[in-house]
Amino acid sequence: MKITILADHINKGDSDISLAVRLKSLFETKGHNVLFHALNNENIHYCRGCFDCWVKTPGECVYKDNMEIICRDMINSSLLLMIASLKMGFTSEVLKKAQERMIPLLHPYMSVIDGEMHHSKRYDNYPLLAVVVKTEADTDDEDLLMIRKLFERFALNFMTELVVFATENEDAEMICEEICSYQPVKL
């Protein structure tokens, strides 16, 4: 399957030890096609909330930056894997910046989904979502539960589901296995 990985921080020195790089390599070993984005090295603007991507140039953001490539990669993937550091109890602003620039992938129109109003689909298919977080010294179970819930909400709004939520403390091979074992059921 095609997998898009968004990692919030990859530095040159991390190449051998970073979980994101290890997961990339594990997926490739299993024959998957991985599209990898180190968000901290990409040119991505903050969403300015103009909604031009819904009402002026539907499906396309006013900013012509690396999010165009990321949106194209993810909407043509079967899985979107987000790997991010927790900062002040939630995933980093680097990832959040990318998340909100994904709204061109949705339609402005509203639909009733699971008893709530949500934006409608623009595309027929959306990638499944997996999230792996790097915890802080003071991260507790309550934090992880809240973060997981917020990503479940994100998945609901992006017409998909959160199939794996893990921390970097878990074994990379197990995370990879868990993600891959979900594939035959849902993809």
Partner 1 sequence: MFNGSPRGKNSNTRLLLDHFIKGYLTVCESDFSMLYLRETDKDTEFVNAFRESEYVILAFPLYTDAMPAIVKRFIELLEPFKGRNDNPAMGFIIQSGFPESSQSRYLERYLIKLTHRLNAEYIGTVIRGGAEGIQMQPPSWTKKLFKSFYTLGISFANSDRFDPVIVKSLAGREKESSIHLFFKKFFADKGLSNFYWNYQLKKNKAMHMRDHQPFLKGN
Q: In the complex, which residues of this chain contact partner 1 (CB under 8 A)?
A: 46-51, 54-60, 68, 71-72, 75-76, 87-90, 92-93, 96-97, 99-100, 102-105, 107-112, 115-118, 122-123, 138, 142-143, 146, 149-150, 153-154, 157
Single-letter amino acid code for the residue at 67: M
Helix (H) or strand (E) holding 177, with range, is helix 172-186
Number of H helices and number of E strands within the chain? 6, 8
Question: To which H or E segment does residue 130 belong?
Answer: strand 128-134
Nearer of residues 16 and 124 to partner 1, judged by Cβ? 124
Nearer to partner 1, 102 or 176 (CB): 102
* CB 152 to partner 1: min, Å: 9
Identify residue 28 by its one-letter amino acid code: E
For 140, the 3-state DSSP assignment is coil
90: left (phi over 0), alpha (psi -120 to 50) or beta: beta
Q: Is the dihedral of CA 112, 113, 117, 123 positive or negative?
A: negative
Task: Name the minimum Å distance from CB 25 to partner 1.
Answer: 25
Q: How far is the CB of 47 from partner 1 (least distance, A)?
A: 6
Complex with partner 1: residue 72 or 186, whichever CB lies closer: 72
> Closest CB to partner 1 among 26 and 84?
84
CB of 171 to partner 1, least distance (A): 28
